[in-house]
Amino acid sequence: MTPIMIRGLLPTLLCSATFAVAQETPETPPAAPAPKVVTTAPRPAPPLGTLVDTLDQAALQEAFRLLTNDYIQEEDLDPLEVNRAALQGLLERLDFGAMLLTERTRSERDSPFGFHHARAHEAVGYVRFGRYTEEEIGQFDAALKEFQAEKAITHLILDLRSPQAQAEFSIASRILSRFRPPNELLFKIRRPGNDRPTLFVSAPEADSCRLETILLVDRETGNVGEIIAAVLKRQTDCLVIGEKTPGLAVEYRDVPLGEDRILRYAIAEVVLEDDTSIFRTGIKPDLVTPTPVKAKADLFRAVDGGKPLAGFLVQKERPRMNEAALVAGTDPEIDYYLLLSQNKPTPWDRPPLQDRALQQAVDLLDTTRFLGSKDKGRR
């Protein structure tokens, strides 16, 4: 048989051999599937408050009896300790409905910022209340006259984010009277056991606000700021930007307890014209825009110290190399790198102060005005 014939037969022989091996090799039975192991994650234990809430009066009394009689260190659970624990638990449950203060902490709860007004943009005025005092109402009237004398200003940003634990409700009524027509029921104060709430009605004012208003609120907005925001949002449907407020719209009473201890607790609740309560509910913004409390406070201090508010509304970026610089044959980054090479501070070492809620309000108004001018141009 010639080599050519052998090469021609090789594929046939190989196929036959492969078939034979396959015939001789017994089939391997399929492996049995591994049993499925079902693991269930342990359910988290209910929170302590939920467990306690399921106990009735008899169960609670029995728990106190057992702990004060059979606990391994029952001498630690004398009546004084039990009463202290009960007061602590009650205050924790009531949250800001009741609190225990000292003279120092009570004074620290007052706002460290004052009234401020400025022209935030070409068509936008800005007003920030600080402590909601009679003096600030006069300053607000002067700011309204200034803004409304300039026909270019069409909008007002009312900043209600100054931390103010409590202020007079009459101040809220007087401020609201600048925004609402006379003899309109603004809000009511409802006291337990009294069927006749105290009514606050808008009074006629010579200086009324004719500007479209945007409100800024956050977690530090106090009781008067919340009342103003709640009434204006309900009556005018104005835009609210920021964070949800805590719901502090109550009247507190301060009672001294022992030496340098003050019990502050809510004795009256503010409700709107339709009896809607905002206590613990707060005001929910239309646009949620969180601003860190520290960043806001730093900016407020900078503005109160004399720096213009408009300087914080536009972020100045560090100059960078771009196509225009390449065409012009310049290097906009050289000053920055020279300062770095000499271990000197540069204007861009620290991130700029940002008030995101205020910036968003100004940007929104600027965009709306721009789009409105475009629509007029097409007509």
pLDDT in tens, 194-243: 889 999 999 998 889 999 999 999 999 988 999 999 999 999 999 999 99
Burial class (CB in 10 A: 0-12, 13-18, 19+), 256: exposed
Torsion, CA 243, CA 294, CA 300, CA 136, rounded to 10: 60
Q: Which domain holds residue 90?
A: 57-95
112 pLDDT band, cuts 50/70/90, is confident
Average pLDDT, rounded, for the chain: 83
More confident residue, 143 or 347: 143
Residues 76, 162, single domain; the answer is no
Of 244, 266, 293, the position where a domain reaches its end is: 293
- State the average pLDDT over residues 15-41: 52
Q: Which pLDDT score is estimated for 11?
A: 43
What CATH code is carried by the domain that includes residue 284?
A: 3.90.226.10
Alpha-carbon 363 to chain mean position? 19
More confident residue, 56 or 366: 56
Closest CA to 224 of 125, 314, 355, 111: 111
Q: Which pLDDT score is estimated for 171?
A: 93
Angle at 355 between CA 350 and CA 361, to 5 degrees: 145
Closest CA to 122 of 150, 92, 146: 150
Long-range contacts for 86-93 (Cβ within 8 Å, ≥24 apart)?
A: 93/49
25 pLDDT band, cuts 50/70/90, is very low
Residues 240, 289, single domain; the answer is yes
Per-residue pLDDT at 360 exceeds 80 = yes
Q: What is the pTM of this model?
A: 0.76
Residues 321, 348, single domain; the answer is yes
3-state secondary structure of 116: strand
The pairing of strands 212-217 and 155-159 is parallel
- State the average pLDDT over residues 249-270: 89
Residues 288, 326, single domain; the answer is no
From CA 228, how far away is CA 169, in angstroms rounded?
Answer: 10
Burial class (CB in 10 A: 0-12, 13-18, 19+), 265: middle
Number of domains in the chain: 3
